[in-house]
Amino acid sequence: MFRDLFDAANDLIPAQHYRVTLRSLLSPLPEDPQLWQRRTVIFLGDIQSRWQVSPAQRSRLRQLLRLAARVVLVGGAVFLPRVVGQLKTSPLAIHPNFAAAAVEEQLVASDPGQHVASAGIVNSASSPFAALRLLLRLIRDDHGQQIANALGQYLGLSDSSKHEVSKVSLHLRQRACGDTLIATTLQLMQDNLEDPKQIRELAAQVGVSTRKLERRFQDKTDTTPLAAYRMLRVERAHQLLVHTDLPLAEIVVATGFGSRTNLRHWFKKGYGTSPQTLRQQSFAGKTPTALPAYN
């Protein structure tokens, strides 16, 4: 499930590429510090037993704890630093099953009822399920609260708003660094995909001139309101083609393109393929998930 979370993050954040590698404690490791600058090491334990470390694994564990930019200790893995003599005073999220042992071994527990904790590079979660929330926090630290909120909604880890999570909208908001005018305009666009408004109408609704709105989009997102609006509609067509069996004629209506020819033209410019080809690929289990291009 951790891999799914990072795959979803990669899906929502175009410029980001989290890579997940599963290793044992005896796997060879690169020593070059440059390769460790942004690495997070996750020690995944359960809530039933402590993570046991053999003498042969201790030196590798010590090396990992020394090199990693961030460390995540889950469940019974909270004892690992203690095993190699790296006892810290940082508070740890400790599952009730390990509370007594933690006291005996002088681990510092976080506040009662707190299932995740972070202090410096050391992060901990009381269970694998709590770790999902912790990883969302780390993604928030990397990319901001807005991205973390959208990812949480996308995965069902937090309550969703009434609006679907749009990768196009999220990407543009990220480019615009949370600019309120752009965020409000994008929401209006998403609310009016079936019957698209003129850009001048959107500008009037947000209380600015058409020229100012166009200039703001160009400055903040490197695209125009018209192109952004169109790609939101292309994205919606993609969703309907892949996840429904609606006829193409109905998808044309639902996305405001007016004709199959118009939809086909902009869809191919955005995704590099035709709506018909995408639907065939979706039935074959081969569906591209990249963001559409801005044209």
Give the 3-state DSSP-derived string for 221-248, with helices as H, strands as E and coil as C.
HCCCHHHHHHHHHHHHHHHHHHHCCCCH
pLDDT above 90: percentage of residues in the chain: 52
**Rounded mean pLDDT, 238-249:** 90
Confidence tier at 49 by pLDDT (50, 70, 90): very high
The reply to whether CATH 3.40.50.880 applies to domain 2-155 is yes
Question: Could you name the CATH architecture of 167-283?
Answer: Orthogonal Bundle (1.10)
pLDDT at 242 (0 to 100): 86
Give residue limits of the domains in the chain: 2-155, 167-283
**Rounded mean pLDDT, 237-248:** 90
Cβ-Cβ contacts under 8 Å for 192 (sequence gap 6 or more): none
Output the CA–CA distances (angstroms, integers) from residue 284 to 66, 162, 278, 279, 287, in the order listed.
46, 31, 10, 9, 8
Residue 215 has pLDDT above 90, yes or no: yes
**Phi first, then psi: what are they for 160, rounded to 5°?**
-85, 155
More confident residue, 197 or 32: 197
Of 242, 270, 240, which is closest to residue 252 (Cα–Cα)? 240
Confidence tier at 213 by pLDDT (50, 70, 90): very high
Is 44 strand, coil or helix? strand
Q: In the chain, how many H helices and how many E strands?
A: 14, 4
pLDDT above 70: percentage of residues in the chain: 90
CB 279 within 8 A of CB 261: no
Euclidean distance between CA atoms 228 and 226, whole angstroms: 5
Residue 229 has pLDDT above 80, yes or no: yes
pLDDT digits (tens, 9 = 90+) for 125-178: 999 999 999 999 999 888 877 788 888 888 888 765 555 568 899 889 888 988
DSSP summary character for residue 109: B
pLDDT at 232 (0 to 100): 96
Indicate the average pLDDT of the chain.
87
pLDDT at 124 (0 to 100): 96
CB 166 within 8 A of CB 190: yes
pLDDT at 35 (0 to 100): 73
pLDDT digits (tens, 9 = 90+) for 51-99: 888 888 888 888 888 888 899 999 999 999 888 877 666 899 999 999 9
**Rounded mean pLDDT, 104-129:** 91
Question: Is the pTM higher than 0.95?
Answer: no
pLDDT at 27 (0 to 100): 79
